[in-house]
Amino acid sequence: MTTPTDTTKPAPLVNLPQLVAAIRWRRRMWVSFALVGLLLGLAFALLMPPQPTAVTRLQIVHENDHPSDGGSLMATDLALLRTARIAEATLRQVGVNESPERFAKTYEAEGLTSNVLELTVRASSPTDAIARARALADTFIADHLARTKNATEAEAEALRDRHAKLRSELGKIDDEISEATSSTQNRNVAGLDSLYVRRADLIAQSHDLGRRVTEAEIGAPRVQEGSRVVDPPRLLPRSIVMTAATYALTGLVLGLGGGLGLAAVAGVVRDRPVLRRDIAAHLGASVIAQLPATPRGPKRLWRRSRAVRERTHVAATLARAVRVEPGAFSLLELGCADTAAVLALGVATALDGPVMVIDDLPKRTLARRAGQVGDRIRVVESDQQSGGPQEIVPDVQYIGVGSVEPGTTWTGLRALGTETVLVVRTGYADTTWLHTVARQLADARIPVIGIVLVHPDPRDRTDGTLWDGLHTALRGRSMPTDEDATRPRRQGPGTQLRNGQTTIAPVRPNEQPLNERIGRSSDSQDVEV
């Protein structure tokens, strides 16, 4: 006994194939964003070129340089360069009346090594940039030397004070030793020895402090001689081409990223199917043909013949379907009124005998093309054909052309034809409206023969055929032979022909609820072996 398996899976939050198809379908959007970003980058480079920039390098020697420093001294110098004191002193040297905070934003500093510093200064003119770079370098070196000198002087003063205290303490020890040696009665030999030891220690400390005082008074000659400008200020070479290319590339990347992001968000939020599989599933009919979009611009010069050839082929396919079951059928467009009008005229041209085309398009597109057809094809507006296909004139094929866009009068669609072919533009309607169209056509008892997809995704490899349930595609309609050409039209369903074939009527909407049909189908499959 077979056990029915539930093949339904929860719908993912984001369908990756549909998202990729939606992004690819909206390629005009993100390509336009990329081009706009490219043009804005070029315009920004031409209208707002970068300011002249001067570069100089300094060698900064620190008194306490050590291999294990780790760059902390250079980090201190970089932080001091950003202070308002350095900026204000530089502006005074240049003689410019500008706020230090604003000037500090026009230069940058970078530590190349532990002792080499690079300054980059921007200004309104090349001369001003060089002058500011030179003044900034001189100001920082002077500040560095002043800080080093102040530190050595403070250290020398502290050493002199300590040396004076040691000399004073040494004098007291000498006095105690003199008193101890002059007293012959109560001489303490052990105490005298400790005084001599203390005196020797103080003398050694005094000599060491004297040497350090002398060194401190000399200062830091290594710092004085080593800290200097090693690379005079010079202008950085500017290339308009390289600048424009950099700005354009930046704008291109930003525009492309923004366009792709917006296309992804639009694909998720707007939920407009672009794959054949999804459109067929939402409309409940198979895709029987597809047409490219109408060429625009220069493409019309070399793609016009191809579009006409494909449109003629689709029209011939629909005409063969109409010959099988003569009568009234309709073409209902969704987002492609012009294509539906041209396709209807193509079907009328491919048919034999008189054809009446009923124009119910919103803008009466067929009326403008009435002069392009022959005498046997008559184009009338829906108002002039109030009787509809119920008043069928013998030997006249009716083709109704209407629309299922928002605002459609659903009750009047059956007057255009008892069966229909949907001409749908890919990515035009969202999922909700596709379901609305399918439901309204089912309520109006208008079976859908199939879907003609306009402007499909060229990389779409999905199948637009509904393999489950009842089909109303062209393969479900019997094709007559030459011997049956003289049979009466509108043969009823199940009529036996002379060649043994049986006519098959178009599948009508099933009155039985969908859940009951599914349940009955599942029960029939569970067979006990």
What is the overall mean pLDDT for the chain? 78
- pLDDT confidence of residue 370: 62
What amino acid occupies position 221? P
- pTM (global) more than 0.75: no
Look at 300-304, 397-401, 466-470, 501-505 and tell me which has the smallest mean pLDDT.
501-505
| Cα gap 322→316, rounded to integer Å | 10
Look at 172-181, 271-280, 346-355 and tell me which has the smallest mean pLDDT.
172-181
**Which pLDDT tens digit goes with each residue over 195-240?**
788 888 888 888 887 777 777 767 677 788 888 899 999 998 887 8
Give the residue extent of every domain in the chain.
16-49+239-270, 53-235, 276-524
Which CATH entry fits the domain spanning 53-235: 1.10.287, 3.30.1890, 3.30.2390, 3.90.550?
A: 3.30.1890
Q: Which residues of 141-180 are buried (b: 16+ CB within 10 A; e: fewer)?
A: bebbbeebeebbeebbeebbeebeebeeebeebeeebeeb
Task: Report the top-level CATH class of 276-524.
Answer: alpha beta
Residue 379 CA to chain centroid, in angstroms?
48
- pLDDT confidence of residue 56: 94
> Would you say 121 and 110 are in contact if contact means Cβ atoms under 8 Å apart?
no
219 Rama class: left (phi>0) / alpha (psi -120 to 50) / beta: left
| Cα gap 396→389, rounded to integer Å | 10
| Cα gap 509→490, rounded to integer Å | 19
